[in-house]
Structure 1
Amino acid sequence: MKKYFNLWLCVSAAVLMYNCGSNTAPVRSYPTRKPVIKPSTTGSSNSPAAQTEREYQNLSKTYKSETAAVLTDLLNDSPSSTTASFTVENKSRCNMVLTISGNNYFRKVPIGAGKIGAVILPKNQTYNLSGMVCDAVYQKTKMITGSSHITVSN
């Protein structure tokens, strides 16, 4: 009788522990393959994408937007104006920093993912535009004679 009581006690304890514990079945241990972890090129702290993101974060803290001046220029565009608005739409999933350089002009513009950046530029000049968009290099030379808009994407 004592054996049956001990057996009943063990079975009751097992059922009670199973019902009071997690609602999952008992865990069986099978041999598993460990995944091979490859070093990430975009996650590296020295990758171009990581450097661009750091530059974007630092530049965003001090950058003064020219949105009001650009809107005024777009609404009151006159042929006698010596300046033109230049807008860049970033349709990529990555933040970018666009470098605009020309004759006596240099500016870095932080443009967030899915955002639009805008600047006022002197007219009738050729500008070099460059930046990194999700590990891809963007470079273009553009003559600005009036208000312009470009779109970049990955």
Structure 2
Amino acid sequence: MKKFLLFSLFITLLLNSCGTTNYNSKRPIYKSSPVNPNSGIHINPNVQTEREYQALLKTYKPETAEVLNSLLNDSSNSPTVSISVENKSNCNMVLTISGKNYFKKIPIGANKIGSAMVPKNQNYNVSGMLCNSVYEKTKYVTNSFSIKLSN
């Protein structure tokens, strides 16, 4: 009986070690949806972005006049430049611009343009979620520029 148990254990271990694991295969890395720590429920990124967008709309003050002045007038001597983002999708988004001593979140509606004035000659990380897709770019800003995003 002992021999049979040992033989069965050996066969089981042998079969488990002979699995079809391919350690060299490249598998995509999927990020799971954020989990609310209080309830343990997965949060849909679109829902989370829409909530943030709606909350930000209540307090956001656009810099439209400053951006237009920068674009229409010679602003080469100005210490600031404009960043414009055109959202050509059907989803609202929140654009985050961060750099040295600078941080701003801009709500940009579907098929709308959002913009901000930023100090020039600095690195900025521009990021946001657009219809379940993440946009992220780091750019050294020396003059005004525009980005068009679509899904």
TM-score, length-normalised on structure 1? 0.70
Give the 3-state SS of the residue equivalent to 1:65 in structure 2: coil
Query: Partner of 1:106 in structure 2?
Result: 103
For 1:45-60, list aligned pairs within 5 A: 46-60=43-57
Gaps of 5+ in 1: 1-40
Matches for 1:1-154 after TM superposition, within 5 Å: 46-154=43-151
Residue pair 1:83, 1:122 contacting (<8 A) in 2 also: yes
Q: How many residues align?
A: 112
CA displacement at 1:77 relative to structure 2 = 2.6
Alignment correspondent of 2:36: none
Q: Distance in 1 between matches of 2:69 and 2:51?
A: 32
Quick one: percent identity of the two aligned structures? 63
Q: Where do 4+ consecutive residues of structure 1 move more than 2 Å? A: none
1:125 Cα deviation from its structure 2 partner: 0.6
Query: How far apart, CA to CA, are the structure 1 residues paired with 2:54 and 2:98?
Result: 21
| 3-state SS in 1 of match to 2:49 | helix
RMSD: 1.5
Distance 2:74 2:42 in 1: 44
CA distance change for structure 1 residues 146 and 125 in 2, over 3 Å: closer, same or farther? Answer: same
Distance 1:76 1:52, change over 3 A: same
Q: Distance in 2 between matches of 1:127 and 1:85?
A: 12
Q: Is the 8 A contact 1:100 1:108 kept in 2?
A: yes
Q: Give unpaired runs (5+ residues) of structure 2.
A: 1-32, 34-40
Q: Note the C-alpha offset of 1:45.
A: 7.7
Following superposition, the deviation at residue 56 of structure 1 comes to 0.2
Aligned letter for 2:107? P
Whichever residue aligns with residue 73 of structure 2, its letter is N
Q: Which has the larger radius of gyration?
A: 1
